[in-house]
Amino acid sequence: MARRARLDAELVRRGLARSREHAAELVAAGRVEVRGGTATKPATSVDPADAIRVLEGGGVEYASRGGHKLAGALAAFPALTVEGKRCLDAGASTGGFTDVLLRAGAARVVAVDVGYGQLVWALRTDDRVQVHDRTNVRTLTPEDIGGQVDLTVADLSFISLRLVLPALAACTLPDGDLVPMVKPQFEVGKDRVGTGGVVRDPKLHAEVVLDVAASAAELGLGVAGVGRSPLPGPSGNIEFFLWLRRGAPPVDPAEVARVVGLAGASPADGVVDLAAGESAGHAGPVGSAGAGGGESDVEDGES
């Protein structure tokens, strides 16, 4: 008798999902049928002979769930261009951010991650992607990646952005752009993280965004835009994007307060493009894919 397996593992084995994380999201979206019924749990035990089907989904699917976050940021900051640029994806993980950058017309993406072998195969074998696995972003230099880039994006966990920004700024051209994702749960300190690892207080959200912006200012970077991610983190944490560049104005505390004050509203209400000087709704797609994770000092996020 064939050995039974978890549904998520079986989906990967059959090539119906890119990873177990992706499989779990397909199940959560109600897109997996086992023996004609809709599966509800990724851990469901299945037989290798069972009929398993993945239903077609609507919208755009990126290499990971995190891709929808960056897509939302790019839609919110229309003055930020990607086409033709050489980009750095810091904390690339399975490649959600890399995928978004390539679809937006990036000429090349340097995908850096402390882990190994996480980038999905389609991106790993793409001639436009330069892969740097087992690489600590905190100590990254332009020489490590073949020179400075035009645009840097970052989705990092288990470390404060304030510790990583100097390296990211050094790897970005003086007239380039940085769009890091700010994760309050890794900025406020363990004693201020709530139940389940979630930071819920909008005042702490504002404090974190302002602190990261202040660290960027010390490196000569202003804030061209600030916004809230259209999707929360895996545990439910609200996350934010800062668009940083030299020559941009200092961060406006009132704008930050407005963004985080809308934390309980729909994502469409919570993005502010300071370059445009007005609120901008999320126009990017919302869908499914996988999440990263790990235990290193500098770790990948969902991208």
Q: According to the model, what pLDDT value does residue 49 have?
A: 84
Which CATH class name applies to 66-300? alpha beta
- Does residue 3 register a pLDDT over 70? yes
Mean pLDDT of 249-266: 76
**How confident is the prediction for the chain on average, in pLDDT?**
83
Tokens of 296: 């290193």
**Taking a C-beta distance cutoff of 8 angstroms, is the pair 250, 217 a contact?**
yes
**Sign for the pseudo-dihedral over CA of 174, 179, 181, 187:** positive
**Taking a C-beta distance cutoff of 8 angstroms, is the pair 13, 2 a contact?**
no
3-state helix, strand, coil in the chain (%, to 5): 30, 20, 50
Q: According to the model, what pLDDT value does residue 153 have?
A: 98
Q: What's the whole-model pTM score? A: 0.71
Mean pLDDT of 58-63: 71
- C-alpha distances out from residue 175 to 103, 106, 222, 244, 258, Å: 23, 17, 12, 11, 28
Domain ranges of the chain: 5-54, 66-300
Mean pLDDT of 135-153: 98
pLDDT band at residue 265 using 50, 70 and 90 as cut-offs: very low
> Which helix (H) or strand (E) segment is 52 a member of?
strand 52-54
CA pair distance 169, 91, nearest whole angstrom: 15
CATH 3.10.290.10 fits 5-54, yes or no: yes
Listed in order, strand segments (DSSP E) in 230-287 are 240-245, 271-273, 278-279
What is the amino acid identity at position 248?
Answer: A
pLDDT band at residue 67 using 50, 70 and 90 as cut-offs: confident
Over residues 148-198, the pLDDT tens digits come to 999 999 999 899 999 999 999 999 999 999 999 999 888 887 777 777 778
Over residues 98-128, the pLDDT tens digits come to 999 999 999 999 999 999 999 999 999 999 9
Over residues 272-288, the pLDDT tens digits come to 444 443 333 332 222 22
% of the chain with per-residue pLDDT over 70: 84
Q: How far apart are the first and last CA of the chain?
A: 39
Over residues 81-106, the pLDDT tens digits come to 999 999 999 999 999 999 999 999 99
- Those residues whose C-beta lies under 8 Å from the C-beta of residue 280, and which sit 6 or more positions away, are 75, 76, 77, 78, 227, 271, 272, 273
